[in-house]
Chain A
Amino acid sequence: MIEIKELHKYFGALHVLKGIDLNVKKGEVLSIIGASGSGKSTLLYCINGLEPIQQGEVKVDGVSVHAKDTDLNKLRTKMGMVFQQWNSFPHLSALENVALAPRIVKGKSKAESREIARAQLEHVGLSDKIDVYPSALSGGQQQRLAIARALAMEPEYMLFDEATSALDPELVGEVLDTMRLLAEEGMTMICVTHEMGFARDVSDRVAYFHQGVMEEIGPPEQIFGKPESAHTAKFLANVR
């Protein structure tokens, strides 16, 4: 379970997250929508400790992410992260991209980590790209590679930071399909997304962020059907 309490985050004088309270249960799929600059992505970075916070607390399975004595490297293996700019490692083949972290972070043997990598590449539909370098992959394939790389750590949570925003329109579908697949398998997911169709169809809950505040959260039917907040209604009217 991910528990976020009274979270405040500043970039210098800029107040980007203004007291976020949010719990995400095991097995839940949460989509976070909202305009650019509303703090959605920053929240993900705060959850896995890539960004420090100024106030409040984030707990993952009871462990406080920003506490001084927390072993962040260990905690991060529980949370896979997929970025907007897929960030594949260009100097490693697809297989090495996925096999590296299980071996050097989790200490698995070379053979075992390659086996895991093969399985995860198959999982995301890249079995035929095992020895290919990222430069020879399309954006959609690189993003699926990034998903496989995160899954190879056997995470309990997956954080998606606008995973399809940087993709050409015709490549969005294959990545969303992979994310759907994970949701069906019961993965706990927090997806910052601009894909309203995905948010509506796949999520258990949808949160709308507005200027650093979680304006509204609820089941997709509520958010997309009859939003309680005027801001949410206005945002959705604009993106439709």
Chain B
Amino acid sequence: MNFDYTFHWRPVIRKLPELLEASLVTLQISVLSMIIGIGIGLVLALLRMGGPKYLSWIATAWVETARNTPALFQLFFFSFGLGAFGLHLTPYLIVLAGLSFNNAGYLAENFRGGFQAVPDTQMRAARSLGMSTTQAYTRIIIPQVFRIVYHPMTNQLVWAVLMSSLAMIVGFRELAGETQAQAFKTFRIFEYFAVTALIYYVMVKMILGISRLLSWRLFRY
């Protein structure tokens, strides 16, 4: 077999500003989906640990679905699935909902593990000092849980950034979507995706670096 493909990087370099702009969209939607995911994940974890029966059941179903079905199918649910019921979301909302749904499911399990890792006796000690349940949670329990789930949370953000590339399937122009659109205009498909892979790599490395710096500041114990 003869290898006769000639690489042409110039068209990709010329479109680099567009790709970098799209990578900001990727970051923005990933971070937003994390914030939503953290909020919902916390509620799901608390419901699973001791919510009313039916709510706890719904939380379990959410977590099970998010963790044990392909993320792509979850995205499909918010596009074609809801579409079948006549509910048509914009591509942006589909991706945001899909990512948030997935993040919430994974984070809920991280949070549940985090809460279980803090000994019950911490709660007793806090209450014995006259703290209310709310004070004990906000001052004593949650800060400790936060430390336990901090690195898993960073991992989930990395996963969200990479998972957001599925957005190109539903026609949303984040980094992967933008790359696909540009690639098929010029047919420099390999070059485009190679460069984009590098951008993803750098983005993830940056997230990990910032997370590590932040952890040194946050956790002094």
On whether the two chains bind one another, the answer is yes
Majority secondary structure, B binding face: helix
Question: Which A residues are in CB contact (< 8 Å) with B121?
Answer: 83, 85, 87
Alpha-carbon distance between A201 and B128 when the two chains are bound, in angstroms: 28
Interface size on A, residues (CB 8 A): 28
Question: B131 interface residue, CB < 8 Å from A?
Answer: yes
| B143 and A48 contacting across the interface, CB-CB below 8 Å | no
| A48 and B128 contacting across the interface, CB-CB below 8 Å | yes
Question: A100 interface residue, CB < 8 Å from B?
Answer: yes
Which of A81, A90, A134 lies in contact with B128, CB distance below 8 A?
A: A81
| B130 and A77 contacting across the interface, CB-CB below 8 Å | yes
| B125 and A73 contacting across the interface, CB-CB below 8 Å | no
| B135 and A91 contacting across the interface, CB-CB below 8 Å | no
Question: Which B residues are in CB contact (< 8 Å) with A73?
Answer: 127, 130-132
| A76 and B130 contacting across the interface, CB-CB below 8 Å | yes
Which of A50, A91, A153 lies in contact with B143, CB distance below 8 A?
A: A91
Question: B88 interface residue, CB < 8 Å from A?
Answer: no
Question: Which B residues are in CB contact (< 8 Å) with A89?
Answer: 122, 125-126, 140
Which of B126, B130, B147 lies in contact with A91, CB distance below 8 A?
A: B147
Interface size class of B (residues with CB under 8 A): 20 to 34
Question: A40 interface residue, CB < 8 Å from B?
Answer: no
A76 and B129 in contact, given A133-B220, A133-B221 (Cβ under 8 angstroms): yes
Alpha-carbon distance between A87 and B121 when the two chains are bound, in angstroms: 7
| A50 and B135 contacting across the interface, CB-CB below 8 Å | no
Question: A135 interface residue, CB < 8 Å from B?
Answer: yes
| A50 and B144 contacting across the interface, CB-CB below 8 Å | no
Alpha-carbon distance between A153 and B128 when the two chains are bound, in angstroms: 11
Question: Which A residues are in CB contact (< 8 Å) with B147?
Answer: 91
| B221 and A91 contacting across the interface, CB-CB below 8 Å | yes
Which of A90, A91, A133, A153 lies in contact with B129, CB distance below 8 A?
A: A153
Question: Which A residues are in CB contact (< 8 Å) with B139?
Answer: 100, 104
Question: B15 interface residue, CB < 8 Å from A?
Answer: no
Q: How far is the CB of B25 from chain A (nearest CB, A)?
A: 36
Question: Which A residues are in CB contact (< 8 Å) with B132?
Answer: 73
Question: Which B residues are in CB contact (< 8 Å) with A80?
Answer: 128-129
| B221 and A149 contacting across the interface, CB-CB below 8 Å | no
Q: Which residue from chain B places its CB closest to the CB of A132 in the assembled complex?
A: B221
Q: How far is the CB of B129 from chain A (nearest CB, A)?
A: 4
Question: Which B residues are in CB contact (< 8 Å) with A93?
Answer: 220
Question: A150 interface residue, CB < 8 Å from B?
Answer: yes
| A91 and B125 contacting across the interface, CB-CB below 8 Å | no
8 example contacts (A-B, Cβ-Cβ < 8 A) are as follows A50-B124, A77-B130, A81-B125, A87-B119, A91-B147, A100-B129, A105-B135, A106-B130
**Given contacts A50-B128, A153-B130, could you give 7 more A-B pairs where the C-beta distance is less than 8 Å?**
A74-B130, A83-B121, A87-B121, A87-B125, A100-B129, A105-B130, A150-B129
